[in-house]
Structure 1
Amino acid sequence: MTAPLPIDGPAAPPRANGELLFAEPWQSRAFGMVVTLHGSGAFAWPQFQAALIDRIRIWETSHPEGECWDYYQHWLGALEDVLAADGTVFADEIELRARELANRPAGHDH
C-alpha cells in the first residue's frame, strides 16, 4: 500500500525537478513515518490528507505577518491530529514528549 501523493494543490509535498524536496533530515523522517503508518493501516490516506489541508488552511487564514511557511510542520501537525482523533495518542502526551525532546542537549540526535 502506498500513499497517493498529489502533484499539486494544498496537500502536495514540496518538489524540485519532480523529486520530493526535504530541507532538513527530520522532514524526510516525518514524511516516512506518515507513509509507513498509512501503509500499515493506521489511518486512511483521505483522513490524513483532509487533516493536512485543514492545517494549511488554518495557517493561511491566521498566520502572523512574516511567519515562515514550513510544509512539514503542517505535515506533522496533521499526523498528530489524525492519531489524536482516533485515540492512538493524546494531545497532552504529544506536548509532554515534545517538551522533553526540546530540552535535550544541543547535538543530541536520538
Structure 2
Amino acid sequence: MSAPLDIDGATAPPRSNGELVFAEPWEGRAFGMAVSLYEAGAFTWPDFRAALIARIADREAAAAPEEPYSYYRLWLAALEDVLVELRAVTADEVTARARALARRPPGHDHTHPH
C-alpha cells in the first residue's frame, strides 16, 4: 500500500518531470519516514494530510514568515503534529531532539568522496 499523494494542490510534494524533488537529504528522509509510518498503519493519510494543510495554512497566514518557504519543513512539522497527537512522542521530546540535531555540524552524516 502506498500513500495517496496528491498530484495537484497545496499538499502535493515538489516534482520535476513527474519525479519527487528533494533539495537536501533530510527532505527525502522526512518524506520516507512519513510514508513508511503511514504504510505501517501508524496513522491515516487523511489525518496526515489535514496536519499538512493546517501547517501550510498557518505559514500562509503569517504576515512575515521567519524562514523562506520550505515544503518539507512543513511536511516534517505535520508529521511531528500527527505523532504528538497519537502520543507516539511528546512535543517536548520533538523539541529536545530537534535542538540536539541542530547542534550537529553541517554534513555530519554525509560522506564526501575525496
> Into which bin does the TM-score normalised by the smaller protein fall?
over 0.9
Aligned partners of 1:29, 1:37: CA distance in 2, in Å? 12
Q: Contact 2:3–2:39 at 8 Å: present in 1 too?
A: yes
% identical equivalent positions:
60
> What is the total number of aligned residue pairs between the two structures?
110
Runs of 4+ in 1 over 6 A off after TM superposition: none
Q: Secondary structure at the match of 2:78?
A: helix
- Residues 47, 66 of structure 1: CA spacing in aligned structure 2 closer, same or farther, 3 A cutoff? closer
Q: Over the residues paired in the alignment, what is the CA RMSD in angstroms?
A: 1.6
Q: Which amino acid aligns with 2:18?
A: G
Is the alpha carbon distance of 1:90 and 1:19 closer, same or farther for their aligned partners in structure 2, counting shifts above 3 Å? same
Aligned in 2, Cα 1:65/1:102: closer, same or farther, shift over 3 Å? Answer: closer
Render the CA deviation track for 1:1-45: whole Å, top value 9, x for unaligned: 210000111110001111111111111111000000000000000
Residue 109 (structure 1) shift? 1.5
Displacement of 1:106:
4.0
Q: Which residue of 1 aligns with 2:73?
A: 73
Partner of 1:85: 85
Structure 1: segments with no counterpart, 5+ residues: none
Q: In structure 2, do the counterparts of structure 1 residues 34 and 66 end up closer, same or farther at CA, with 3 Å as the change threshold?
A: closer
Q: Write the letter of the residue equivalent to 1:47.
A: D
Structure 2: which 5+ runs fail to align? none
Mapping of residues 1-110 of structure 1, within 5 Å: 1-64=1-64, 67-109=67-109
SS at match of 1:68: coil
Moved more, 35-44 or 55-64: 55-64
- Distance in 2, matches of 1:56 and 1:76, equals 12
Give the direction of change, closer, same or farther, for the CA distance of 1:88–1:63 in structure 2 (3 Å limit): farther
TM-score of the superposed pair, with normalisation by structure 2: 0.90
Give the Cα–Cα distance (whole angstroms) in 1 for the partners of residues 53 and 63 of structure 2: 15
Give the Å deviation of 1:108. Answer: 1.8
